[in-house]
Amino acid sequence: MQIVNHCLSAAQFLPSPNFDARPDPADISLLVIHCISLPPGEFGGDYIDRLFLNQLDASQHPSFKDLAGLKVSAHLLIRREGELKQYVAFDRRAWHAGASCFQGRGRCNDFSIGIELEGDITQPYTNAQYQALAAASLALIRQYPAITPERITGHSDIAPQRKTDPGPLFDWPRYLRLIRNDLK
């Protein structure tokens, strides 16, 4: 997997309007792992794409009511079968972390890349997702060397009062082992 012009070559690119310039484009130094499912607990379909592209019809499902008018994005989405979608180029600031803090530094969107896993905190992630996440993470680490395994975190770790993702079923040891084995 390679990164060309701040985009992952293996990902389908669907440009989200929900991004802006980073305060320092050279400061890409954190990777944040999230999870998302729309409707909650359901997988497949194009609702996540629609959310990140500002095309989600809030009347299509009762759980979408709170998403009406919300402007959010992530850099990448990894579907259950390992398919990769990219919404924002890595040198741009995606709107994924919200109010957040990592090692005393706030505004994590300024210096982070956000990866969403299609899932929720109550179900295990798939083998295909771990493989795709590890491959994408390695490409990011090689392209942006300030991202190290120690600078990969969950949304729950940078916004613990608000967020619980990627959740207790995300296998951090497995994921980090996949990365570290390839970095040797």
pLDDT per residue as tens digits for the range 131-141:
999 999 999 99
Domains of the chain: 10-183 (3.40.80.10)
Tokens at residue 155, please?
Answer: 């949304």
Strands 76-78 vs 112-118: parallel, antiparallel or unpaired: parallel
Q: Which listed residue (42, 81, 83, 116) is catalytic?
A: 116
Strands 12-13 vs 84-86: parallel, antiparallel or unpaired: parallel
Torsion angles phi and psi, residue 68, rounded to 5: -55, 125
42 labelled catalytic: no
pLDDT given for residue 48 in this prediction: 98
Q: What percent of the chain has pLDDT over 70?
A: 100
Asked if 133 and 33 touch (Cβ cutoff 8 Å), the reply is yes
pTM: 0.97
Segment 73-102 mean pLDDT: 98
